[in-house]
Structure 1
């Protein structure tokens, strides 16, 4: 009796806000679950045979206020490939913070507590504005392999990102990263919004599809000795679309 009452009170204490996401997931046949003892939820689905996951809840990055929406997938890319695409206002804010924290304070290194997005702004080259095309006024990018990222941003991903320009304000934080074989999209979403969720899922799926395609093409070119960055791809084995052995950790 006491256990039943506790479960009832626990359910009653949860915000109904995530129900918007539950309906969206159910309509599309995705798995949905609420986060225990917190306001948040997890949605798991697939793009073809490629698994992906959506998390909505407390922010993991200090540049996001309120709730954070995270979309993640792991797949077969070189772990050395590091890419960051983000809205330009956030990029400028991060660059200023890096300067103030690590130059004005005469620090000579960036510690591991600094978000990877901020570290990458210092570590990697900026993507030339010409590579960004119509995205250049809203988005910026840095990368460890500029030619690969240029192709990625010139793909149908460009259309999906361009569609987001009118949907959110210029200062709305958005980051799209590739690192250690994981693609992640982070953005602010204080209240569940099914229409906005669908738009970010579209951006994410375009990014995922094109990253996998380019990864395969560059790996094949490396095998034929045709790429300018063979060291990143020559030891990568064939992509197995049915390989779901990689699992995303609960948080991180």
Structure 2
């Protein structure tokens, strides 16, 4: 894993997990629910493309659901906005899933959405779940927008870079690589 801040851009990290390259960077937000800088990561894992799963911070899920409901019930709006973030479409397409082996504190902070419960179970191993709950101090609060998702054979992470500390980026990289490892171990190649 390497950490750089090239020529005036935000810091970046890159590495390999299971022989697959990944990259994480800080930059301008690409979603309107992220204020300030956005921390985002991506890895092309080459796993089967016919599954989807997402971990989303519960406050972000609730806010996006409220926004979607308000858009649908707005009498002046007759069509859906084509610029809706993919996360809002996920809320309509996929069910929230859960299970008892994760502690209640996990479910208070995060929600897991998936096309099939079995896919979420195959992805979410103990290390991944523990890392999601073990942010180092100063830690992002539960209100900090956070998503890690598997879709189309790739893994993505997106969060508000708060607090803007190297420790936040380093821990997000650990979470992201654990998510990638869980996917590589849980799903066949595409």
Partner deviation per Cα, 1:12-66 (whole Å, 9 max, x = no partner): xxxxxxxxxxxxxxxx5x2746367xx4344332225220001111011111100
**Structure 1 partner of 2:122:** 151
Q: Which residue of 2 aligns with 1:189?
A: 161
Partner residue in 2 for 1:87: 57
1:180-229 alpha-carbon deviations (Å, 9 max, x no partner): 1111111111674111111111111111111100013xx7xxxxxxxxxx
Report the 3-state secondary structure (helix = DSSP H, G, I; strand = E; otherwise coil) of the residue aligned with 1:54: strand
After superposition, where does 1:4-153 map in structure 2 within 5 Å?
30=2, 32=4, 34=6, 39-105=9-75, 110-128=80-98, 130=100, 132-134=102-104, 135-153=106-124
1:179 aligns to what? Answer: 151
Stretches of structure 1 that go unaligned for 5 or more consecutive residues are: 1-27, 220-235, 237-252
Out of 198, 204, 213, the position equivalent to 2:170 is 198
TM-score (ref. length: structure 1): 0.66
C-alpha contact 1:45 1:53 (8 A) present in aligned 2: yes
Normalized per residue, which structure has more helix?
1
Distance 1:207 1:109, change over 3 A: farther
RMSD: 2.6
The Cα of 1:132 is off from its aligned counterpart by: 4.7
The CA distance in 1 between the partners of 2:180 and 2:5, in whole Å, is 23
User: Displacement, 1:78?
Assistant: 2.4
Uncovered stretches (5+) of structure 2, i.e. residues with no partner: none
**C-alpha distance in structure 2 between counterparts of 1:107 and 1:79, whole Å:** 34
After superposition, give the CA deviation of every residue in 1:103-152 in whole Å (9 maximum; x if it has no partner).
33486764431100111001111113647544111101211121110232
CA distance in 2, matches of 1:61, 1:35: 24
If you compute each CA radius of gyration, which structure gives the higher value, 1 or 2? 1
- 8 Å contact from structure 1 (residues 160, 203) kept in 2: yes
Distance in structure 2 (CA, Å) of the matches to 1:150 and 1:111: 32
Local SS of the residue matching 2:187? helix
Shift of 1:175: 0.6
Question: Is the CA contact (8 Å cut-off) linking 1:110 and 1:119 kept in structure 2?
Answer: no
CA distance in 1, matches of 2:174, 2:99: 24
Question: Relative to 1, partners in 2 of residues 1:179 and 1:111: Cα closer, same or farther, differing over 3 Å?
Answer: farther
Separation in 2 of the partners of 1:42 and 1:162?
Answer: 23
- Whole-angstrom distance in 2 between the partners of 1:169 and 1:31: 24
Whether the aligned pair in 1 keeps the contact of 2:140 and 2:162 (CA below 8 Å) is no
